Amino acid sequence: MQILKDKILKEGKYLGNGILKVDSFMNHQIDPALMKEIGQEFANRFKSVRATRILTAETSGIAPALACAMVMELPLVFARKHMPITMAANPFTERAESHTKGTVVDLNVSPEYLKADDRVIIIDDFLASARTITALINIVASSGAELVGIGAVIEKTFEGGRAKLNHLTIPVESLAAIKSFDNEQINF
Amino acid sequence: MQILKDKILKEGKYLGNGILKVDSFMNHQIDPALMKEIGQEFANRFKSVRATRILTAETSGIAPALACAMVMELPLVFARKHMPITMAANPFTERAESHTKGTVVDLNVSPEYLKADDRVIIIDDFLASARTITALINIVASSGAELVGIGAVIEKTFEGGRAKLNHLTIPVESLAAIKSFDNEQINF
């Protein structure tokens, strides 16, 4: 997705240790025009999977997932890191490690909003080590729903996340795949 | 906003202690069609305030704020509860208590994305005690930016938040104002 790659080259900042800062348009500030395009692109790529629901994790997955949900006209569920008191008992819970915060969090999804007859697309901001996405995959499995697609805005191919998803026979789509940060440069 | 009130009456669940569960369309699952309408309604109400940026707090503020940002074509900044390692040093930080989680969190906004020449609309999911919104107001003040509007999807008028905002000479808009939960009923 060329406008995304251009944006990453223009505003992305490599901070070392494999960390790409995209706070100016996705992880702290959000560029709504770009987010609309991202939603449209995901919708195009997943148009034949007959999804019934989109699943993401708070926080940074919400914007691209909502943009996609708006185009596909599907309900969006975001896994919660802390169980609010409004959450029903016995949610689907999976542990995930945050790459950029160095912390471990539980992702919780209420069975009210993920059903055995659902066909689910998982959308997240990054596909890197696939730890968050794997936790979401496990939540989908626990619910009995069918996983029909995985989409990430930015993939860091050198972190091996995609290899962990290779056993899945569903489309795994990223909109900009970064191969390396050699010499502090972002290389697609 | 009638379709929002209808949705609250149909799907909202009063849990006691002033807590309204709207997890089916805003706080856990998001209804993207409704969210688009909410964004359009905020955009209509704030069309004359000449805003340059929208500010919200993670997590549940992001969806309505993004929907509004998409219509108004303005950048959206969401205050972060945990400082990711990508965040620049010395953010604007304010403490806020979460009503539905019973915890205290710091809200952090990087000075990179909130400038003294900005005109800011604050958007959040609820206006109840106004603790989160007050923290965001203080962040705007710290940045030197001008606050030009405050919008909440749902207001609980009996929690006194609006009274705390009365000293402000800017529009404070809520799209559905709940006056009471007398007899377990939702009363607008």
* A11/chain B closest Cα distance in angstroms: 12
Answer whether B109's CB lies under 8 Å from B79's CB: yes
B29-30, strands of its sheet edge to edge: A172-178, A146-156, A119-127, A53-57, A76-79, B29-30
The Cα A110–Cα A79 span in angstroms is: 8
Q: Is the pLDDT of residue B170 over 90?
A: yes
Number of H helices, E strands in chain B: 5, 10
- A43 HSE (CA, 13 A, CB side): 17
pLDDT per residue over B1-53, tens digit each?
A: 999 999 999 999 999 989 999 999 999 999 999 999 999 999 999 999 999 99
Fold of A2-184: Rossmann fold (3.40.50)
The Cα B77–Cα B62 span in angstroms is: 9
H or E, element range at B150:
strand B146-156
Report pLDDT for A23: 97
* B38/chain A closest Cα distance in angstroms: 13
pLDDT per residue over B42-85, tens digit each?
A: 999 999 999 999 999 999 999 999 999 999 999 999 999 988 88
Q: What are the domain boundaries of chain A?
A: 2-184
Q: By a Cβ cutoff of 8 Å, what residues of chain A touch chain B? A: 15, 19, 21-24, 27-33, 35-36, 58-59, 62-63, 66-67, 69-70, 73-78, 80, 82, 84-87, 100-103, 109-110, 112-113
Q: What is the ipTM of this complex?
A: 0.96
The Cα B147–Cα B130 span in angstroms is: 15
Report pLDDT for A133: 97
Report pLDDT for A100: 63
Compare all CA atoms of chain A with the CA of B114 and give the residue at the minimum distance: A29
pLDDT per residue over A46-100, tens digit each?
A: 999 999 999 999 999 999 999 999 999 999 999 999 888 888 889 999 999 876 6
- Single pTM value for the model: 0.97
Report pLDDT for B99: 65
